[in-house]
């Protein structure tokens, strides 16, 4: 009897660990897709939706690795010319109206970038989906007409993340993050992120619309639309400088 | 001789003397007791602030108060501490790290002051560890767990760590507390629903309660429905000494409640070595050195000495740190003075009255005394001595009674239950422990004697003016 | 003879006794009134100071603002709204305010600050910002320069103690530096010359800011420098502006001093993309009496509906209200104690009077006076005594209080300074004649009547024979 049980366990164990490995692997692959690029250039549109009003910003975005990013706002007219520079964990902003360069303290960003639902945590902790969680494959589900892995990610004890756990849907064919649900420690849903409108850009299939929906606020939503994106563009480190922040067009 | 006669005279008219003594006793008792209550309340408030928030003296880098930068720290902390610890007046010393940062939960991010402490050492300087809200954990209880933090009640609310939920248990508790059935029924609608913050909870409550019901039971419902997660997870993010963003995950080990929302909503206590390594500050540095004295009245002297010992650092006594506290204690002293003065004035009048009657009544006797040659001065002194006896006896009795009552109440405290909110809002506990210094009793005694003397002046003069011949003829 | 006539004659038969007894009543009334007047006056002025310097008695806001003070919850300050409020008979003026948050930067340093848009002239009805402009700053250079002049040694020593401090008022500076009387004439010009700072106020429309002293130091800015404000404006826009620092102000509360920036309200509205909108409007009243406030509140409440909300000072200053309440109760306890003392005094006097007149009473009854008539006469006597005392008390108290009203008690210099720093007048004020006069008198009257019971009882129980022996 024991022998049978042992054999059974020996058979199951590798499958289980394989499954866990798979889940982590899947997430890593999906993450690498977004963040593994050496550099990128994109033109995006962000719409902030609130119960009483709506605002749309258009901007150009350059990134290099995880350390450098430069954003230039191109519309609406009032905000055109404002630019933001990220170098490591420091951020600067250039505002043409007052022609001044200001170093932004991290606390400024916790309110949501430019008034959106995109928070500080997002901006600085994106890569943690791989390292800070224990991943578990929890079935499959169709999102936007595509079959996805459903992966439950439980935050590790000592991980510097605020979420209790996340559920992510990753497309089986192309390893795209199609949907994410972020939960607090008590298991209450706090935020939902949706990827929509898959298109091929610069030779890749990516979701071109990202919706961030906070759970507790009625009628609040932020929608980011990628209009154009190029990967692995040639860009020097000194492009991401304070001088360039003023000059970039 | 005069004294003995005076004393005997006092007791010649028992009823009258007793009345005067009694009224002086009552006046003194009431005055001293009232001062004791006020004193106790203010002392307590001051003690609370010293105990929990600022201790007696603080030392920091010269620029620290205006510029909360990490680099504004004190070097060679250990030798400075040793030097301070050697001072006689010092009871205990501790040091702290201050890092301004953000506390983040899944829903909220709030700016906070992160204080790195040595939990054990802190206990000798601050009593904050005692202010644990029951049921919320403990004060760094588990030495193994590095990531524990001790946060304020208001911060816990702001971070939505404290939530509100109507459960069956809560409903039962409310019922026991006397919540009327129809209200109970209304709020039960929300059973099982969790509200992340006070605002949404109140909104829901308002939809089932009338304005009056809310006024009366709102607070009770709110407090009973409070719930929170043990060892709740949150992250602290801040900038290190090289200006890089860093941070870590922490867990709420315990929540403190000191009825001072400003303090509670911004101070987060964590183990100092955890913070030190995250911000990369070297050993033997700190942002504040905090001193607790054996006797708070030594503050000024010790502060002056430390200012000259460490001219490159900023040394602040509690009055400079919390000037409004100083204001309050000073004001209080002025009020005591006025109050006692007023009571003594009222009493003095009573004594004048009595002595006058005494004198005028004993016209015949006094006339006789003068006629047989008694020195006028002696008559004067006799009257005065009688007056002093009256007031002193009354005063002694009054002080004795007040001393006894104060002793009793200072041990058990008086509960001003109905005025609780008002007291607590001002930072006073509604449970007061009256207290009086010996010095005060001494002053009161002196004042009573003075009163006795002064009040007898007029009657005594009257006695002197009596014409012996005239006096002998009176009925 | 009628009782009341007899009573009157009795009183004047023994003048000294009458004077003494009614004097005790007089003192009772006098003390009670003085104390109560002082209490009420002092509390009143303290609280009025606090309320009038910030929140005012009545405010109009967007109904969402109080619970959620974000820039989106502003209201439109239309002419129509204004006239609806000002047509009320008790409204003197409207004081606009725009409060929000921003990041203040000097380029190299940034800090989160509170931005207050005010009407430079109208705001004077509330908080006198202009008086908080820093006039002296004891910088290292200033101190060295002053020491180079011929100054007394005590001043040189004190200058070191207060290095780096700023002062808005001459008085504060003089007290800290311990400037002795008589020395001001010679020393003040020296101080002004080296430590004097030139700060100025601003007016509507000027792109000028007033910055808190501590904040300015942190940012490394001085008068004439430019300060940048960056934040979130109405409906998600970016608020960005640069302003010349017109003046540095010093706020006693160090927390606030560390993060306050004042702008003219119209400039502030532009910064936050909210033209014509306000976060709050303080309603300045003609009559500040409790009743007048209540009345105005009710009228405005019914006139202004959603999306506006009318707030009363009590709602906006909950802690203060509770404090007032506690203080009031404390005060009543003190008065209660005073009464206790007084009651004993009155009672004692009556007791003695009764004892004294035992013989007299005995004789009267023995010769045939009805006990009831005697008690009747005595009641009138007590009544007259009480009335005399009360009237005398009131007669003296009224002018004393009136005098005190115009000449409040001033604090000693050092205590005064702390008060002034906090924006309080350093005086103990007297309250004008009010309802409390009646209540005090009534209490004393009751005390007298109760005390009167003693002689009445004594008379009833009296055995004439014993009385005659007295």
Q: Is residue A91 part of a domain?
A: yes
The whole-angstrom separation of Cα A40 and Cα A69 is 9
Question: What domain count does chain A have?
Answer: 2
A245 with A172, same domain?
no
C325 with C309, same domain?
no
pLDDT band of residue B291 (cuts 50, 70, 90) is: very high
C262 with C405, same domain?
no
Q: Is residue A10 part of a domain?
A: yes
The whole-angstrom separation of Cα A97 and Cα B160 is 38
**How many C-beta atoms surround the C-beta of residue A196 within 10 A?**
15
Q: What's the pLDDT at B268?
A: 92
Asked if B109 and A119 come within 8 Å (Cβ–Cβ), the reply is yes
Task: Give yes or no for a contact between C420 and C169, defined as CB atoms under 8 angstroms apart.
Answer: yes
Closest CB from A79, A101, A111 relative to C107: A101
Q: Which of A93, A102, A103 to mutate to test the interface with C (most CBs of C within 10 A)?
A: A102
Asked if C235 and A53 come within 8 Å (Cβ–Cβ), the reply is yes
Q: Is residue B320 part of a domain?
A: no
B386 with B261, same domain?
no
Q: How far is C390 from chain B (nearest CA, A)?
A: 15
A51 with A80, same domain?
yes
Closest CB from C255, C338, C345 relative to B350: C345
B136 with B254, same domain?
yes
Buried residues in B228-242 as b, exposed as e (16+ CB within 10 A): beeebbbbbbbbbee
Model confidence pLDDT, tens digit, residues C41-93: 777 777 777 788 788 899 999 988 887 788 888 999 999 999 989 998 999 99
Asked if C112 and A100 come within 8 Å (Cβ–Cβ), the reply is no
B353 with B221, same domain?
no
Question: What are the tokens at B55?
Answer: 């201790």
C290 with C264, same domain?
yes
Q: Is the bond leading into A60 cis (omega within 30 degrees of zero)?
A: no
Chain C interface includes B111 (CB < 8 A): yes
Asked if B229 and A185 come within 8 Å (Cβ–Cβ), the reply is yes
The whole-angstrom separation of Cα B386 and Cα B382 is 6
B294 with B362, same domain?
no
**How many C-beta atoms surround the C-beta of residue C432 within 10 A?**
13
**H or E segment at C85?**
helix C79-86
Q: Is residue B425 part of a domain?
A: yes
C297 with C348, same domain?
no
A211 with A139, same domain?
yes
C413 with C296, same domain?
no
Query: Considering only alpha carbons, which residue of chain A is nearest residue C235?
Result: A53
Q: What's the pLDDT at A43?
A: 94
Q: Is the bond leading into B336 cis (omega within 30 degrees of zero)?
A: no
C299 with C446, same domain?
no
Closest CB from C17, C322, C351 relative to B421: C322
B74 with B120, same domain?
yes
Asked if C110 and A114 come within 8 Å (Cβ–Cβ), the reply is no
C15 with C91, same domain?
no
The answer on pLDDT for B1 being more than 70 is no
B429 with B353, same domain?
yes
Chain B interface includes A128 (CB < 8 A): no
C93 with C109, same domain?
yes
Asked if C341 and B346 come within 8 Å (Cβ–Cβ), the reply is yes
Whether the model pTM is above 0.90: no
Question: What domain count does chain B have?
Answer: 3
Closest CB from A90, A107, A162 relative to B235: A162
Concatenate the DSSP letters of all residues of C29-49 into one string. HHHHHHHHHHHHHHHHHHHHH
Q: Is residue A190 part of a domain?
A: yes
**How many C-beta atoms surround the C-beta of residue B325 within 10 A?**
19
Asked if C103 and A78 come within 8 Å (Cβ–Cβ), the reply is no
Q: Strand C91-105 and strand C226-232: pairing?
A: antiparallel
In 3D, which of A56, A58, A108 has the Cα closest to residue A221? Answer: A56
Chain A interface includes B235 (CB < 8 A): yes
Q: Is residue C154 part of a domain?
A: no
What residues make up the domain containing C30? 3-51+320-469
Q: Which residue has the higher pLDDT, C162 or B325?
A: C162
Q: Strand B267-271 and strand B109-117: pairing?
A: parallel
Q: Is residue C458 part of a domain?
A: yes
Model confidence pLDDT, tens digit, residues C94-152: 999 999 989 898 877 888 899 999 999 999 888 888 888 888 888 888 888 888 888 88
Q: Is residue C284 part of a domain?
A: yes
Asked if A103 and C241 come within 8 Å (Cβ–Cβ), the reply is no
Q: Is residue A13 part of a domain?
A: yes
Query: Which CATH number is A47's domain given?
Result: 2.50.20.10
The whole-angstrom separation of Cα B297 and Cα B46 is 12
B194: chain A residues, CB-CB within 8 Å: 186, 188
C310 with C373, same domain?
no
What residues make up the domain containing A81? 37-117+225-249
A152 with A207, same domain?
yes
| ipTM greater than cut 0.85 | no
**H or E segment at C167?**
strand C166-167
Q: Is residue C169 part of a domain?
A: no
Question: What are the tokens at B136?
Answer: 């919320």
A173 with A113, same domain?
no
A24 with A49, same domain?
no
Task: Give yes or no for a contact between A84 and A91, defined as CB atoms under 8 angstroms apart.
Answer: yes
Q: Is residue B414 part of a domain?
A: yes
Q: How many CB pairs below 8 A link A and C?
A: 55
The whole-angstrom separation of Cα B460 and Cα B355 is 8
C360 with C212, same domain?
no
Interface of B with A in 112-171 (CB under 8 A): 147
First CA to last CA distance, chain C = 27
C277 with C372, same domain?
no
Task: Give yes or no for a contact between B342 and C33, defined as CB atoms under 8 angstroms apart.
Answer: no
Q: How many residues does chain C have?
A: 470
Query: Considering only alpha carbons, which residue of chain A is nearest residue B229?
Result: A186
Buried residues in C277-292 as b, exposed as e (16+ CB within 10 A): bbbbbbbbbeeeeeee
A89: chain B residues, CB-CB within 8 Å: 239, 244-246
B463 with B367, same domain?
yes
Question: What are the tokens at C270?
Answer: 């532009």
**How many C-beta atoms surround the C-beta of residue B34 within 10 A?**
22
Task: Give yes or no for a contact between C53 and C317, defined as CB atoms under 8 angstroms apart.
Answer: no
Chain B interface includes A67 (CB < 8 A): no
Residues 6+ apart with CB under 8 A from B453: B384, B387, B388
A98: chain C residues, CB-CB within 8 Å: 228, 240-242
Q: Is residue C150 part of a domain?
A: no
Q: Is residue C442 part of a domain?
A: yes
Tell me the β-bridge partners of C340.
none
Q: Is the dihedral of CA C217, C219, C222, C223 positive or negative?
A: negative
Q: How far is A127 from chain C (nearest CA, A)?
A: 28
Q: Is residue C167 part of a domain?
A: no
Q: Is residue C184 part of a domain?
A: no
Interface of B with A in 76-115 (CB under 8 A): 102, 104-107, 109, 111
Q: Is residue B316 part of a domain?
A: no
Domain endpoint, select from C316, C346, C365: C316
**Burial class of residue C122 in the structure, from the number of CB atoms within 10 Å of its CB (0-12 exposed, 13-18 middle, 19+ buried):** middle
The whole-angstrom separation of Cα B370 and Cα B366 is 6
Asked if A107 and C110 come within 8 Å (Cβ–Cβ), the reply is no
Q: What's the pLDDT at A119?
A: 65
Query: Considering only alpha carbons, which residue of chain A is nearest residue B234?
Result: A162
A24 with A146, same domain?
yes
Domain endpoint, select from B311, B341, B368: B311
Q: Is the dihedral of CA B131, B137, B138, B139 positive or negative?
A: negative
**Burial class of residue B68 in the structure, from the number of CB atoms within 10 Å of its CB (0-12 exposed, 13-18 middle, 19+ buried):** middle
Q: Could you say which residues of chain C have pLDDT below 70? A: 1, 411-428, 463-470
Q: Which residue has the higher pLDDT, B64 or B262?
A: B64
Find how far residue B26's CA is from the centre of its chain: 27
B293 with B149, same domain?
yes
A69 with A109, same domain?
yes
Task: Give yes or no for a contact between C34 and C405, defined as CB atoms under 8 angstroms apart.
Answer: no
Q: Which residue has the higher pLDDT, C199 or B343?
A: C199
B121 with B243, same domain?
yes
Question: What domain count does chain C have?
Answer: 2
> DSSP character for A66?
T
The whole-angstrom separation of Cα A55 and Cα A220 is 12
Buried residues in B44-60 as b, exposed as e (16+ CB within 10 A): bbbebbbbbbbbbbbbb
A111 with A162, same domain?
no
Q: Is residue B340 part of a domain?
A: yes
A181 with A136, same domain?
yes
Task: Give yes or no for a contact between C416 and C422, defined as CB atoms under 8 angstroms apart.
Answer: no
C344 with C215, same domain?
no
Q: What's the pLDDT at C415?
A: 64
B178 with B155, same domain?
no
Q: Could you say which residues of chain A have pLDDT below 50? A: 15, 17, 123-124
First CA to last CA distance, chain A = 75
Q: What's the pLDDT at A123?
A: 47
Q: Is residue B131 part of a domain?
A: yes
Q: What's the pLDDT at A23?
A: 85
Q: What's the pLDDT at B170?
A: 84
B189 with B304, same domain?
no
B186 with B251, same domain?
no
Least confident interval from A170-179, B298-307, B451-460: B451-460
Residues 6+ apart with CB under 8 A from A6: none
Q: Is residue B350 part of a domain?
A: yes
Residue C125 has, within 13 A of its CA and on its CB side, a CA count of 19
Q: What's the pLDDT at C250?
A: 87
The whole-angstrom separation of Cα C282 and Cα C262 is 17
Q: How many CB pairs below 8 A link A and B?
A: 67
Q: Is residue A122 part of a domain?
A: no
Asked if B346 and C38 come within 8 Å (Cβ–Cβ), the reply is no
What residues make up the domain containing B224? 170-228
Domain endpoint, select from B263, B282, B311: B311
The whole-angstrom separation of Cα C265 and Cα C423 is 23
Task: Give yes or no for a contact between B156 and B255, defined as CB atoms under 8 angstroms apart.
Answer: yes
Chain C interface includes B26 (CB < 8 A): yes
Task: Give yes or no for a contact between C271 and C99, defined as CB atoms under 8 angstroms apart.
Answer: no
Asked if B422 and C340 come within 8 Å (Cβ–Cβ), the reply is no
A144 with A175, same domain?
yes
């Amino acid at each position: 009897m024991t022998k049978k049980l042992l054999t059974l366990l020996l058979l199951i164990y590798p499958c289980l660990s394989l499954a866990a490995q798979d889940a982590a692997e899947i997430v890593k692959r999906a993450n690498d897709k977004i963040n593994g690029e050496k550099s990128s250039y994109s033109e995006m549109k962000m719409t902030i939706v609130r119960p009483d009003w709506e605002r749309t910003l258009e901007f150009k975005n350059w990134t290099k690795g995880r350390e450098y990013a430069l954003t230039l706002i191109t519309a609406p007219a009032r905000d055109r010319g404002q630019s933001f520079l990220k170098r490591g964990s420091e951020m600067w902003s250039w505002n043409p109206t007052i022609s001044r360069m200001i170093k932004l303290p991290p606390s400024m960003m916790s309110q949501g970038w430019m008034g959106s639902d995109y928070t500080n945590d997002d901006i600085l902790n994106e890569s943690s989906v791989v390292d800070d969680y224990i991943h578990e494959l929890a079935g499959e589900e169709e999102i936007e007409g595509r079959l996805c892995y459903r992966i439950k990610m439980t935050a590790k004890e000592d991980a510097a993340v605020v979420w209790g756990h996340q559920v992510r849907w990753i497309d089986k064919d192309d390893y795209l993050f199609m949907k994410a649900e972020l939960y607090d420690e008590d298991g209450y849903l706090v935020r939902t992120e949706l990827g929509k409108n898959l298109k091929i850009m610069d030779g890749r299939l990516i979701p071109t619309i990202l919706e961030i929906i906070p759970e507790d606020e009625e009628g609040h939503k932020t929608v980011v639309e990628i209009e154009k994106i190029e990967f692995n563009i040639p860009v020097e480190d000194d492009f991401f400088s304070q001088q360039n922040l003023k000059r970039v067009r | 001789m005069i004294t003995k006669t005076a004393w005997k005279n006092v007791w010649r008219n028992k009823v009258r003397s007793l009345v005067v003594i009694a009224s002086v006793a009552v006046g003194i008792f009431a005055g001293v007791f009232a001062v004791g209550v006020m004193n106790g309340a203010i002392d307590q408030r001051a003690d609370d602030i010293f105990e929990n928030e600022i201790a007696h003296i603080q030392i920091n880098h010269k620029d620290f108060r205006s510029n909360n930068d990490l680099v504004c720290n004190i070097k060679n902390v250990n030798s400075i501490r040793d030097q301070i610890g050697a001072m006689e007046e010092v009871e205990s010393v501790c040091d702290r790290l201050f890092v301004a940062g953000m506390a983040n939960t899944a829903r909220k991010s709030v700016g906070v002051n992160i204080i790195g402490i040595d939990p054990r050492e802190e206990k000798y300087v601050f009593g904050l560890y005692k202010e644990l809200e029951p049921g919320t954990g403990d004060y760094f209880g588990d030495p193994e767990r590095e990531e524990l933090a001790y946060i304020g009640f208001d911060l816990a609310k702001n971070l939505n760590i404290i939530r509100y939920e109507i459960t069956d248990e809560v409903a039962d508790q409310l019922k026991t507390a006397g919540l009327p059935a129809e209200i109970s029924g209304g709020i039960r609608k929300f059973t099982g629903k969790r509200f992340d913050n006070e605002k949404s909870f109140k909104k829901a409550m308002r939809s089932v309660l009338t304005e009056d019901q809310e006024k009366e039971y709102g607070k009770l419902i709110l407090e009973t429905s409070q719930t929170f997660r043990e060892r709740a997870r949150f992250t602290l993010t801040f900038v290190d000494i090289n200006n890089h963003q860093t941070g870590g995950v922490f867990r709420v080990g315990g929540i403190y409640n000191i009825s001072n929302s400003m303090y509670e909503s911004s101070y987060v206590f964590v183990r100092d070595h955890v913070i030190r390594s995250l911000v990369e500050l070297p050993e033997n540095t700190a942002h504040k050195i905090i001193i607790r004295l054996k006797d708070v009245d030594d503050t000024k002297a010790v502060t002056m000495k430390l200012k000259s010992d460490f001219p490159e650092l900023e040394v602040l006594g509690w009055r400079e740190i919390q000037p409004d506290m100083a204001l309050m204690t000073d004001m209080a002293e002025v009020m005591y003075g006025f109050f006692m003065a007023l009571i003594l004035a009222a009493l003095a009048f009573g004594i004048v009255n009595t002595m006058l009657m005494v004198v005028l009544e004993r016209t015949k006797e006094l006339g006789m005394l003068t006629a047989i040659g008694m020195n006028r001065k002696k008559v004067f002194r006799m009257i005065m001595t009688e007056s002093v006896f009256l007031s002193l006896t009354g005063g002694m009795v009054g002080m004795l009674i007040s001393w006894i009552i104060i002793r009793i109440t200072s041990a058990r405290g008086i509960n001003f239950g109905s005025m609780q909110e008002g007291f607590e809002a001002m930072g006073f506990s509604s449970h007061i422990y009256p207290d009086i210094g010996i010095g005060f009793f001494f002053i009161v005694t002196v004042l009573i004697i003075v009163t006795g003397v002064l009040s007898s002046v007029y009657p005594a003069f009257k006695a002197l003016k009596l014409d012996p011949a005239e006096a002998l003829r009176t009925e | 003879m009628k009782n009341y006539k007899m009573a009157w004659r009795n009183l004047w038969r023994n003048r000294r006794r009458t004077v003494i007894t009614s004097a005790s009543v007089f003192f009772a009334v006098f003390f009670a009134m003085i104390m109560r007047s002082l209490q009420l006056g002092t509390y009143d002025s303290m609280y009025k100071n606090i309320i009038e310097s910030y929140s005012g008695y009545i405010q109009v806001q967007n109904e969402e603002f109080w619970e959620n003070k974000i820039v989106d919850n502003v209201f439109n300050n239309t002419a129509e709204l204004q006239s609806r409020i000002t047509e009320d008979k008790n409204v003197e003026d409207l004081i606009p305010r725009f409060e929000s948050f921003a990041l203040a930067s000097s380029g190299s340093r940034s800090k989160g600050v509170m931005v207050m848009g005010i009407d430079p002239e109208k705001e004077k009805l509330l908080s006198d910002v202009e008086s908080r402009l820093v006039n002296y700053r004891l910088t290292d250079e200033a101190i060295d320069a002053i020491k180079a002049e011929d100054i007394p040694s005590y001043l040189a020593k004190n200058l070191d103690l207060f290095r780096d401090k700023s002062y808005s008022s001459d008085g504060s500076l003089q007290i800290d530096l311990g400037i002795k009387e008589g020395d001001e004439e010679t020393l003040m010009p020296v101080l002004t010359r080296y430590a004097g700072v030139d700060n100025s106020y601003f007016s509507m429309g000027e792109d000028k800011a007033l910055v808190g002293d501590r904040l300015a130091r942190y940012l490394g800015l001085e008068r004439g420098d430019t300060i940048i404000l960056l934040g979130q404006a109405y409906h998600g826009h970016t608020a960005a502006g640069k302003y010349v620092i017109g003046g540095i102000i010093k706020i006693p509360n160090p927390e606030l001093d560390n993060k306050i920036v004042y702008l003219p309200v119209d400039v502030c509205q532009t910064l936050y993309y909210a033209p014509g909108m306000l976060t709050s409007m303080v309603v300045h009243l003609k009559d500040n009496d409790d009743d007048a406030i209540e009345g105005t509140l009710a009228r405005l409440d019914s006139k202004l509906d959603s999306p506006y909300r009318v707030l009363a000072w009590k709602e906006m200053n909950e802690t203060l209200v509770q404090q007032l309440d506690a203080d009031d109760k404390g005060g009543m306890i003190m008065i209660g104690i005073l009464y206790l003392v007084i009651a004993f005094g009155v009672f004692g006097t009556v007791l003695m009077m009764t004892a004294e007149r035992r013989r007299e009473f005995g004789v009267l009854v023995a010769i045939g006076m009805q006990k009831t008539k005697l008690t009747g006469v005595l009641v009138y006597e007590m009544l007259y005594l009480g009335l005399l005392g009360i009237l005398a008390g009131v007669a003296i108290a009224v002018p004393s209080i009136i005098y005190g009203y115009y000449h409040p008690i001033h604090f000693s210099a050092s205590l005064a300074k702390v008060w002034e720093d906090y924006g309080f007048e350093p005086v103990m004020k007297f309250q004008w004649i009010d309802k409390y006069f009646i209540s005090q008198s009534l209490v004393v009257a009751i005390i007298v009547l109760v005390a009167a019971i003693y002689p009445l009882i004594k008379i009833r129980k009296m055995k004439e024979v014993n009385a005659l022996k007295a």
